[in-house]
């Protein structure tokens, strides 16, 4: 079940909200939310929902042991098991076929086929944050295993984040006041995210597919390469930030305050700034639970580079079991090392009007690596960006591409400007009309969902 489906919007969400607010007791509300979350996950993963429950309860037992064990050795053992169990499950279901099968196949050893469950990377990282935080600070231990299960399985952020750290919601799990303003603002944020997803991301995705088809049938071109890269960059931004908006909005409806996950990343003046603005919860996780424990920047330059390499190799692998994701992570690793250790003194002196478009072009190049799992197709896409292929110079445009451009007219320009805060002053002036505008966005999104079959969530596969 996805947020942008009629089943969710017209059945699941109204029933869940109605039952949730039927009684003010935190026990009742937590119970309704937990049951709804398990139904939500079981809708798409009827088997893995039991694995999610079992894994969470085992980690709770390990954290209980790490907090209450009588000896330091046992505490360390339980703490290790609390991290190793979810991490081991993630490595097997997501990476066994990628890393182990090529090694074991020549030996005649076959691994049982396992389908990767939805959202496994997101809820695994959340379980790990609890295991680590409770081992570091016994006060973080959650004595009620059902509350821990609610933290892990809470449906607003279960499938595609944002990654919620346990410490951010620990107190809210025990009791929270939900004001009318929380419900109103939460639903408005949800409507905004739904509009991003359905009205912007889905249309951008259709243009991406038609651009690729036009290039395959009518030949590649320079304009086609950059048109594809721009539209895919907009699609993945509106898709993921729209989902995050919906998750943050629903979280507020149910009394949780999730951290922001995007902050106009395409406005960045450097790659480092881009990653402070893009998928903020993932960057925070790797900084707090990988980079800093490895020594962070409090060590020699070679060790800092090694730490950054580990973080970005893992960041690439987190996005998928494919070499293009590893290459994508290492691409950003090289750019960040270049910024931090080579251009450190020069970057601040370069005007923003130059740094921002250069950064944006570098990010677009990265999204090309991210999109293509086939290296031959990736290199063909890069040949379009530079205008040169093995057959010679490429044309600026082709008739097939121009037909796609004419078909969608000014939509790419509208989507592009919507990715920047250029409309903020207008939005502030229209603030009193926000409920009317967002209601219209919600209704229009419903109409688009009814009329269109293209409705994927990119980050579901991670």
Residues ≥6 apart with Cβ < 8 Å to 406: none
- Neighbour tally for 129: CB within 10 Å: 23
Nearest to 154 by CA among 134, 168, 133: 168
Sign of the C-alpha dihedral, residues 215, 221, 222, 227? Answer: negative
Q: What is the pLDDT of residue 112?
A: 61
What's the pLDDT band for 267 if we cut at 50, 70, 90? Answer: very high
Q: What DSSP element (H or E) covers 392?
A: strand 392-393
Least confident of 68-72, 107-111, 154-158, 447-451: 107-111
The rounded Cα 218 to chain-centroid distance in angstroms is 34
237 token code pair: 């931004």
Strand bridging mode 388-389 / 392-393: antiparallel
Whole-number percent of the chain with pLDDT over 90: 53
* 162 cis-preceded (ω within 30 degrees of 0): yes
User: How far apart are the C-alpha atoms of 358 and 181, rounded to whole Å?
Assistant: 41
Q: What is the pLDDT of residue 71?
A: 83
User: How far apart are the C-alpha atoms of 162 and 279, rounded to whole Å?
Assistant: 8
Q: What is the pLDDT of residue 106?
A: 61
Q: Which of the listed ranges 95-109, 307-321, 358-372 does the model predict with the highest average pLDDT?
A: 358-372
User: How far apart are the C-alpha atoms of 270 and 288, rounded to whole Å?
Assistant: 22
Residues ≥6 apart with Cβ < 8 Å to 115: 93
- Neighbour tally for 203: CB within 10 Å: 22
**pLDDT for residue 236 is more than 90:** yes
Q: What is the pLDDT of residue 392?
A: 75
Least confident of 138-152, 161-175, 429-443: 429-443
Q: What is the mean pLDDT of residues 125-131?
A: 92
User: How far apart are the C-alpha atoms of 190 and 434, rounded to whole Å?
Assistant: 13
What's the pLDDT band for 93 if we cut at 50, 70, 90? Answer: confident
User: How far apart are the C-alpha atoms of 401 and 146, rounded to whole Å?
Assistant: 54
Active site residues: 319
Residues ≥6 apart with Cβ < 8 Å to 298: none
Structure confidence by residue, pLDDT tens digits, 408-428: 989 999 999 989 887 655 555
Q: What is the mean pLDDT of residues 314-337?
A: 91
0.85 exceeded by the pTM? Answer: yes
User: How far apart are the C-alpha atoms of 313 and 155, rounded to whole Å?
Assistant: 29
| φ, ψ dihedrals at 316, nearest 5° | -65, -50
Q: What is the pLDDT of residue 258?
A: 93
- Are residues 274 and 359 in contact, defined by beta-carbon separation less than 8 angstroms? yes
Beta bridge partners of residue 392, listed in sequence order:
389
| Residue spans per domain, the chain | 6-176, 182-461
């Amino acid at each position: 079940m996805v947020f942008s489906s009629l089943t969710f919007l017209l059945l699941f969400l109204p029933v869940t909200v109605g039952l949730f607010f039927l009684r003010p007791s935190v026990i009742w509300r937590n119970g309704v939310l937990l049951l709804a979350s398990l139904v939500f996950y079981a809708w798409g993963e009827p088997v893995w929902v039991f694995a999610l429950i079992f894994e969470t309860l085992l980690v709770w037992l390990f954290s209980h042991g790490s907090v209450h064990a009588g000896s330091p050795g046992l505490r360390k053992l339980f703490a290790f098991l609390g991290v190793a169990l979810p991490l081991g499950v993630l490595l097997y279901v997501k990476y066994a076929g990628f890393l182990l099968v090529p090694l074991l196949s020549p030996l005649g050893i076959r691994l049982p086929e396992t389908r990767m469950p939805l959202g496994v990377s997101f809820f695994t990282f959340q379980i790990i944050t609890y295991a680590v935080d409770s081992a570091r600070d016994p006060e973080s231990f959650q004595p009620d295993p059902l509350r821990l299960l609610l933290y892990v399985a809470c449906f607003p952020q279960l499938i595609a984040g944002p990654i919620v750290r346990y410490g951010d919601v620990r107190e809210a799990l025990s009791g929270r006041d939900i004001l009318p303003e929380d419900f109103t603002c939460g639903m408005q944020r949800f409507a905004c995210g739904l509009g991003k997803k359905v009205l912007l991301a889905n249309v951008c995705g259709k243009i991406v597919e038609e651009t690729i088809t036009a290039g395959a049938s009518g030949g590649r071109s320079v304009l086609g390469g950059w048109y594809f890269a721009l539209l895919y960059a907009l699609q993945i931004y509106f898709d993921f930030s729209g989902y995050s908006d919906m998750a943050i909005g629903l979280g507020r409806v149910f009394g949780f305050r999730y951290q922001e996950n995007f902050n106009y990343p395409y406005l960045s003046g450097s790659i480092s700034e881009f990653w402070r603005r893009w998928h903020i919860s993932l960057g925070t996780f790797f900084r707090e639970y990988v980079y800093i424990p490895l020594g962070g920047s409090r060590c020699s330059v070679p060790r800092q580079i090694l730490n950054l390499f580990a973080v970005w190799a893992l960041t690439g692998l987190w996005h998928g079991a494919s070499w293009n994701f590893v290459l994508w992570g290492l691409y950003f690793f090289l750019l960040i090392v270049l910024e931090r250790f080579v251009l450190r003194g020069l970057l601040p002196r370069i005007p923003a009007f130059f740094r921002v478009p250069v950064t944006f072009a570098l990010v677009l190049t990265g999204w090309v690596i991210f999109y293509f799992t086939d290296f031959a197709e990736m290199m063909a896409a890069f040949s379009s960006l530079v205008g040169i292929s093995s057959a010679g110079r490429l044309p600026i445009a082709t008739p097939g591409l121009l037909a796609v451009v004419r078909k969608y007219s000014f939509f790419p320009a509208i989507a592009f400007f919507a990715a920047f805060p250029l409309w903020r002053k207008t939005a502030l002036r229209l603030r009193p009309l926000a409920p009317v505008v967002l209601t219209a966005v919600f209704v229009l999104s419903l109409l688009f969902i009814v009329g269109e079959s293209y409705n994927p969530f990119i980050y579901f596969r991670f």
